[in-house]
Amino acid sequence: MAYTEIHKITATLNAALDYISGDKVEEITKEKTERILSLEGAAIGKNLSDSIKDSLDYAVDDKEGIVTFKTYTSYNCCFPIDNQSFGSYIIDHSAYWSKKKEKDKNRKTTKDNKEVVAWHLIQSFEESIRSEIANEIGRKLIEKIIPDYPCQISTHTNTEHTHNHIIFSAWDVDGKKYNDDIKAKNLIRKVSDELCQEYGLHVLEDTKEMKLVKYQDSDGNLRYYEPTDRKIEMIRQREEGTVTRDDVNSYRNTYQYEDKEAKKETIRVIVKRDIDYLLSQVSSFESLLQRLKEQGYQIRDKKKNGEWLTYITYKPPTAERGVRDYTLSEDEFYKRENIERIILAKNKEMTATKADSYKYFDEYVVGECDPFNDINENYRVEKDDNNRPYTKQRSIVEKKVISDIRKDYRVNRISDYRYLHKSNNALTSREKQILESIQFKYKCLKFLEHKDIITFTAIQERIDKTSEQIQRMNSAIDSLRMAIEKERKLLLLPAEIEKLSYKIAEKNNNDGYKFTEYYEDVNTINKYKKILQAKGLVTPEKLKEQEKKVKASEAKLRNFEARADLMNSEMETYNLFNAYVKAIGYDVEREMQKEVERINENRSDGRGLL
């Protein structure tokens, strides 16, 4: 079966897209190794890298002790370059229809009057399946339930269950807003089960026809839950009298309880990992909770009156149950009060240090920043959702570019970086060349930061991906142009009919005309009328609707053409920096090889590293 749930997104859409699109990096553990080997059909004890070297789902670095679970992403009803452009498209799309429908009395917003810009649907499979298959199932689910809503489908394989994160616009292409009611939830569940059956995946016979069950939580809020294997088994055992509702001890001795506790431990690891990752990026506890919610978390944090609950409950998107903060560690590190203290201390430290080694630059400009004192080699400064700075560790590529810039300063004996900022006319030809070279590398550094490029081959990979997207976009543009041309011709038919009718009436007494062109003109009129009738364009109102349809298609075409221009511009930027990044990557490889050779030569026992 596939467990499904859905959440609204009102803010920080791009943060949610970054989370679902990014590859997941984790440490290699015994449990992780056995799970991956089992998934790949390998025997336990076989080298992990050898077993999965041909897999698209994983990439293993035995030396670093990490495994990267690759995220498989596809799109529906849109042609974005990446998740950032998709996020911009959704925000613009939502703003357009929200403005257009602002006078609609039935228009819905959240309780705090925020506009829902997108929805986050999670589809988690009971089995571990390949990401391409899971993504294909997710895409088919979207095509059946919301075919006209722009959406991104990203598949994760880093947890026990392969799962899809599907973020789709709150508005479809024609301005219809998605309604997340019980009918919609049941449709998602029904279609998801049908697809699981189609692909030979497990479907609960006891629950596949069952609708969501309604209940009230402790605060009186109406909620729903989806029956699962564990719940069905508990009901069966209670009916047989094996366990009772109040016989806690007998329940704790069942395998269901042991399985539930094991899953809880897995959930704790997931929650701690996600909190640890976000701690350096947020400036408040509320911001941390918001970022987790955008990733699909369900969080119980406050009472109805706005006061904090004693314990915060975190429920990750793929989990059946949540865990309380005090259970995450024995020292209560993850309790709200302690996390608030940590964030406060970090903010104070950032405030004290950002003016020195942790400066923030919108762009790096020769003569305005010192590569030795203003740019930190190990960390860069980013800004969170509240425009507050936080530090992020630099990638090996960024470090190499910074090292290369500093080398330029040393080789060219630039002691005072500010003199390069003087008027271009006052610089010598040699100084201008130095300035242009360094400024190019500064632009490359900012590009790497903005695109989060962490490997020397990542740009080429993005070039290949963008090239494919450009081809698909150009194909879509050609198809749309042809469709618009056909629609335009339909609008011209009434005028052609009127023109031919006038010609027939005018030459009614012309015998020569009657014996030559008359019947051809009559047949043409009848043909045009049949075409209009077949298309339902027989009234002025229908023709006006057709005209609106053509204008909407033309607007869509302009949007596609603008995106194609953006893609081509992006491709030019990628190509601009790709050769340089490849070159410095080659330099790093040579330096590492030389270091290995030097160590091998210096070993006294005659045994080298390789």
Spatial contact of 167 and 9, defined as CB atoms under 8 Å apart: yes
pLDDT at 348: 63
* CB contact set of 273 (below 8 Å; sequence gap of 6+): 26
Place of tokens 């490359």: 444
Give the residue-averaged pLDDT of 390-415. Answer: 82
Give the residue-averaged pLDDT of 344-357. Answer: 59
Instruction: Check whether 169 has a pLDDT greater than 70.
Output: yes
> Minimum mean pLDDT among 312-316, 352-356, 402-406: which range?
352-356
Q: Could you give the CA distance from residue 458 to residue 179 in angstroms, rounded to a whole number?
A: 39
Give the pLDDT confidence of 318-349 residue by residue, as tens digits: 777 888 998 888 888 899 999 988 887 776 66
pLDDT at 213: 55
Give the pLDDT confidence of 18-40 residue by residue, as tens digits: 777 777 666 555 555 655 555 44
Q: Three-state SS for 124? A: strand
Give the residue, 90 or 490, on which the prediction is more confident.
490
Spatial contact of 59 and 67, defined as CB atoms under 8 Å apart: yes
Half-sphere exposure of 57 (CA within 13 A, CB side): 21
Class of residue 134 by CB neighbours under 10 A (exposed 0-12, middle 13-18, buried 19+): buried
Instruction: Check whether 314 has a pLDDT greater than 90.
Output: yes
Instruction: Check whether 88 has a pLDDT greater than 90.
Output: no
pLDDT at 592: 54
Q: Which listed CATH number (3.30.930.30, 3.90.1280.10, 3.30.9.10, 3.30.70.890) goes with 2-99+114-257? A: 3.30.930.30
pLDDT bin (cut points 50, 70, 90) of residue 445 is: very high
**What's the pTM value of the predicted model, to 2 decimals?**
0.38
pLDDT bin (cut points 50, 70, 90) of residue 460 is: confident
CA angle at 424 for the pair 422 and 428, rounded to the nearest 5°: 100
Instruction: Check whether 452 has a pLDDT greater than 90.
Output: no
334 backbone dihedrals φ, ψ, rounded to 5°: -95, 10
Spatial contact of 564 and 471, defined as CB atoms under 8 Å apart: no
Instruction: Check whether 113 has a pLDDT greater than 60.
Output: yes
Boundaries of every domain in the chain: 2-99+114-257, 258-353, 358-441, 459-581
Give the residue-averaged pLDDT of 458-463. Answer: 81
pLDDT bin (cut points 50, 70, 90) of residue 607 is: very low
Tokens standing for residue 240: 């047989």
pLDDT at 312: 93
Give the pLDDT confidence of 202-225 residue by residue, as tens digits: 765 444 444 455 555 555 665 555
Q: Could you give the CA distance from residue 74 to residue 141 in angstroms, rounded to a whole number?
A: 13
Give the residue-averaged pLDDT of 567-580. Answer: 87
